[in-house]
Amino acid sequence: MSQVQSYPEVAIVILHLRGVSCIVDCVGSLNKIAYQNYTIIVVHNGPENVALRDALSPISQHITKVIHTEENLGFAKGNNIGIRQALKDGAEYILLLNDDTEVDPGFLTALIDVAELRPDAGMLGSAIFYYDQPQKIWFAGARFDREFCSVTTTGFDRFDKSESSAFIESDYITGCALLIKRNVIEKIGLLDERFFLYCEDVDWGLRCMKAGYKNLIVTYSHIWHKASASSGGIDSLIRAYHKTRGQLLLARIYAPHALCRLKLKFFRDIAWVLFKSSAPHKIIKARAFLAAMIDYHTGKTGKGPDWLVANE
């Protein structure tokens, strides 16, 4: 049961690239939530899509706008378009939500309860579970190690043990499901668009803490994630390229002393892929790592080389 008396307006921004069935399931689950003062903004990272329009039409009672970007602008830039629209519309809270998630009916009420009771909370997130293993945690908080510019997720791949505390502090909230207050965005700014696909949420969370706020995981707010459905899976070339490039940029901003160590690690990864891995297409995988390092050094941002998508 909700503890707060006010129900501020929440704009839910759903970034969509492909896989219409996923976003239909996501919006369908949102239509069943207990919290009622919310709207949905869909940002489609591509040209106008008739199939998407037709699929969303029967379940569009909370959708106020569908924005087509005409091309894939990436996670940060695509979500920023939705965030700007939400701010323009007057939302007090903005929730970024992956289109390959389904939500518990009480998830948003739980997040707002804590957000309203905790003025020091800048960003809040749910406990996120694997969709195909509903009791197994996918994300429940993380720590950023400045010594190695690495992220350690807490509770990752462990089964839920009925967390006793109502919320736990985290160094960042995953962009898979991230609630942020309007005044926090006004203070720290939007997502950094130099990050195309990975690490932008880590950067946002660290900026939030630098501004004096806390990032909280609300353990009784639950979401289920169809992990990696939108990025080609864990061995995706796109994942390899953007995680490498993003981590190097993150190190330059927050842990410049770790850059040399990080580059050596990536060179070892390339050597392992070339000489130890038995996976098919290992040459193209090594090329993805190397291209990310080169593009980082030349200052390239955006989606990366065209051959990344062509070889997926």
Q: Pick 310 or 219 by higher pLDDT.
A: 219
- Which of these ranges, 37-41, 82-86, 149-153, has the smallest mean pLDDT? 149-153
Q: 10-121+173-212 architecture in CATH?
A: Alpha-Beta Complex (3.90)
pLDDT digits 0-9 by tens, 232-259: 444 688 999 999 999 999 999 999 999 9
Q: Where are the domains of the chain?
A: 10-121+173-212, 237-310
Mean pLDDT over the full length of the chain? 92
Report pTM.
0.93
Residue 229's pLDDT is 46
DSSP assignment string, the chain: ----S----EEEEEEE-S-HHHHHHHHHHHTT-S--SEEEEEEESSS--HHHHHHHGGG-TTEEEEEE-SS--HHHHHHHHHHHHHHHHT-SEEEEEETTEEE-TTHHHHHHHHHHH-TTEEEEEEEEEESSSTTBEEES-EEEETTTTEEEESSTTPBP---SSSEEEES---TTEEEEEHHHHHHH-S--TT-SSSSHHHHHHHHHHHTT-EEEEEEEEEEEE-TTTTTT-TT-HHHHHHHHHHHHHHHHHH-GGGHHHHHHHHHHHHHHHHHT---TTHHHHHHHHHHHHHHHHHT--TT--HHHHHT-
pLDDT digits 0-9 by tens, 21-62: 999 999 999 999 999 999 999 999 999 999 999 999 999 999
pLDDT digits 0-9 by tens, 208-230: 999 999 999 999 999 999 985 44
For the chain, percent of residues with pLDDT exceeding 90:
82
Contacts of 68 (CB under 8 A, 6+ apart): 44, 46, 47, 48, 49
Q: Pick 219 or 158 by higher pLDDT.
A: 219
Q: Mean per-residue pLDDT for 142-158?
A: 84
